[in-house]
Amino acid sequence: MNKLLIFAVALIMLIGCSWSHDSVQDPLSTLKNGKFIDLTWSFDEQSVYWPTNIPFKHETVFDGINDKGYYYSSFKYSAEEHGGTHFDSPMHFAEGGNSIEKVPVEQLTGEGVVVDVTPKAAADRDYQVMTSDFEAWEKTNGRIPDGAIVLINTGFGKFYPDKLTYTGTVLTGKEGVENLHFPGLHPDAAKWLATERKIKGVGLDTPSIDFGQSKEFLTHRMLFSHNLTAYENVAHLDELPPRGIWVFALPMKIKGGSGAPLRIIALLPNNR
């Protein structure tokens, strides 16, 4: 039995034992009866990319009835690693850090917690999520569990993919970067998560884990120096409870990649 299969069996048993006594008898019942929430935006020409990046392109190779008389379609796409709903590997800002294919599969899934800072982000689109936001979450929901994937709901997901309301600008290039305004994670809070809690990664519903006006990207640098991962432009975080979910964050396995398109989903057990 290979390591991936062993891990999958162990995960199913863990979910069953954690969420339902009945599931102990049937470890698959949570997967069979749970609700899956897609946290991924579709990739198309409207997908949000960094102002200096080349946007997503999807072009037709063939679409129609071929010369043998049956329907056939095939398309090609091109994209930079960091755009749309995507995954950041430690290599993105940490020399010698794991590239996409080197991130252990065990780090791509875990118990999810959702920290809601929507009111603060609505009042200040340059808001940076603070350690106090996580401490307040813990007072209500308990300590962030070991091995957790921390998701931050800023409320900005409702603006996607309108670039002006979502990012603060429709400009491109360096001028676009200078005019970005959206919430992110404060470097001090990133340090707290990386050193005071044992998490696997952090995701949020904005274009960057650092806030829009960041120049030094200290949050990226802090997380990735501790071999953590990040997810950006995550969708539908407002549909998730604060805890009691399981997250699967599976990036395209690009060898040597600093980032990759991401398909991320959350599983809610049937008792949620």
Whole-model pTM? 0.89
| Residues in Cβ contact with 268 at an 8 Å cutoff, skipping those fewer than 6 apart | 34, 35, 36, 37, 240, 241, 244, 245
Q: Is 236 helix (H, G, I), strand (E, B) or coil?
A: coil
Mean pLDDT of 248-271: 95
pLDDT tens, residue by residue, 101-111: 999 999 999 99
Q: What is the chain's mean pLDDT, rounded? A: 93
| Residues in Cβ contact with 15 at an 8 Å cutoff, skipping those fewer than 6 apart | 23, 27, 30, 31, 246, 267, 269
pLDDT of 12 above 80: no
Domains, the chain, ordered by start: 34-54+81-268 (3.50.30.50)
Determine the pLDDT at residue 13.
Answer: 52
pLDDT of 9 above 80: no
Mean pLDDT of 23-34: 78
Query: Which residues lie across from 71 on neighbouring strands?
Result: 65
Q: Residue 189 to residues 19, 134, 142, 178: CA-CA distances in angstroms?
A: 29, 8, 18, 24
pLDDT tens, residue by residue, 195-211: 999 999 999 999 999 99
Determine the pLDDT at residue 2.
Answer: 54
Distance between CA 264 and CA 218 in Å, rounded? 25
Determine the pLDDT at residue 20.
Answer: 46
Give the residue among 145, 238, 232, 240 at the shortest CA–CA distance from 185: 232
